[in-house]
Chains A and B, each alone.
Chain A
Amino acid sequence: MIGQIVIVGAGQGGFQAAASLRQEGYDGRIILIGEEPEAPYQRPPLSKAYMKTGDAGQLALRPAAFYDTNAIELRKGTRVDAIDRRAQRIQIGDEDLAYDHLILATGTRNMRPPIAGLENTRDLRTLADAAALRDALARAERIGVIGGGFIGLEYAAVARAAGHHVTVAEAGARLMGRAVSSQMSDRFAQKHGEMGTDIRLASPVAAVTPDGMTLADGTQISADFVLLAAGVVPNVELALDAGLDVDNGIVVGNTLLTSDPSISVLGDCACFPDPATGRLVRLESVQAATDHARLIAKRLVTGDQSAYRAVPWFWSDQSDWKLQIAGLAEATDAAETLPDGTVLRLKGDQVTAVETVNNARAHMRTRKGMGQGSILTKEDFVSAQV
């Protein structure tokens, strides 16, 4: 078996890889290295429960003792600077560390679009960001949000429910445009509008000042602070410098291995073949990070070379609506709304994804059906409507 496994990035996926390696029975050294000062924690609550309650105690993925108990050498607050593939070593400042297998789990960082005055915005990616945002929220009256994606909208919903004036400026023609059907975008635009949030579509932000933001058409929106939630970019620099393939993420094959047989990649920073279509995709979800991690751990410990084939799923909580997505649609897939509000994404007759609001049953049935490898068609859902 492999002597020493190093995991770079101690987030959702890096943690899961370490935990799964032990579950699979690996008894060599595991070194889990993360730049953030905290032990691995969950990000999804940062824009949801944590933003409401401020209770950071509920975020940790495992209590501190877990790492000792499982002999996982967790090195917090430590940044990996480079990979020397020939020597199979990574560099951390002056120190270097050998690996027999390396798992890259470096995640993403906020994308910084070319907007004047961007230094006046705040991020929401880490616990430190979220804590600062909560403090700012307590002192603010008017809040601007750049980007009508999941994180911007979740934050807007929390801020609005707490009585703040919130304006969301989205450059695209609709909300969450990369991830959901236009029907679902419209429903959420209406929902946020009814809550009293000012949603501005097709409104790129041209400039940010300490007093607010200016839209491309010249409209001034006054705000005590502005949240930047315009998407993320994958942390690929380590891989790129080491000569690995990078294409909107670190490229891996269907067993999540790079062209270097000693390096695997998982989670937000991985660009991998979608099991359903074979096209290269990069997903930002807890599901991808954890399912990737489990597959890699199994491969390393048991030698199982099975291809990755987990069904993608995702959720977003906005006010009292829980949006759930099962499967993965391409932008060009059709969309059809059923009487109960379920939106089917379709390639011809075949259902590629199902979008639901507060309908866990339909969501889970889809996941189960797709997980069993069945091809789901519209009929499967229409017959379940009554």
Chain B
Amino acid sequence: MAKITFVQPGGASQTVEAREGDSIMQTALAHSIDGIFAECGGAMMCATCHCYIDDDRTGAASEGEQDMLECAEDEVRDTSRLSCQITVTEGLDGLIVHLPVPVE
């Protein structure tokens, strides 16, 4: 188990217990976190699980992930990640995930 904190653009935050082996995207869906849509189910075919993570423990985005991020609907930053590409481990306990400002 690892505690992950999701922070909405307005500042509201929610800390949840994440299951090891799940992705951050699955963790968000399991806890009905707003702002993660995950249209393609983690196949790296959309960028609707986009989030911002400023934490070295999650490593760097792969080239394919960066290509997808380039086309995210919301603002792309240096800390942009696809949450489907990060697997929860005990080592990620305390991770903070910021969600993008919704478009439209």
Contact = CB atoms under 8 A, between A and B. Distances in A.
Interface string B34-45: 000001111111
A313 B26 contact: no
Contact of A42 (B41, B68, B70, B71): B41
Contact of B71 (A44, A65, A69, A368): A368
A69 B29 CA distance: 12
A360 B64 contact: yes
Given A42-B41, A44-B43, A286-B41, A364 B70 contact: yes
A7 to B, nearest CB: 18
Interface string A54-66: 0000100111011
A132 B44 CA distance: 27
Given A62-B29, A66-B32, A69-B32, A367 B41 contact: no
Size category, B interface: 10 to 19
B86 to A, nearest CB: 14
B71 A367 contact: yes
A178 interface: no
A368 to B, nearest CB: 5
Size category, A interface: 20 to 34
B99 to A, nearest CB: 15
Interface string B8-41: 0000000000000000001001101000000111
A282 B43 CA distance: 22
Given A62-B29, A66-B32, A365 B43 contact: no
B45 A315 contact: yes
A86 interface: no
B55 interface: no
Given A364-B67, A364-B71, A44 B41 contact: yes
A58 B26 contact: yes
Interface string A284-308: 0010001000000000000000000
A44 B70 CA distance: 24
Given A315-B43, A367-B71, 18 more contacts: A44-B41, A58-B26, A62-B29, A63-B29, A65-B30, A66-B29, A69-B32, A286-B39, A286-B40, A286-B41, A286-B45, A290-B39, A313-B45, A317-B43, A361-B67, A361-B70, A364-B68, A364-B70
Interface of A: 42, 44-45, 58, 61-63, 65-66, 69, 286, 290, 313, 315, 317, 322, 324, 358-361, 364-365, 367-368
For the complex of A and B, 7 pairs with smallest distance between CB atoms? A364-B71, A360-B67, A361-B67, A42-B41, A63-B30, A360-B64, A315-B45
13 contacts: A44-B43, A58-B42, A66-B32, A286-B41, A290-B39, A360-B44, A360-B64, A361-B67, A361-B70, A364-B47, A364-B67, A365-B71, A368-B71
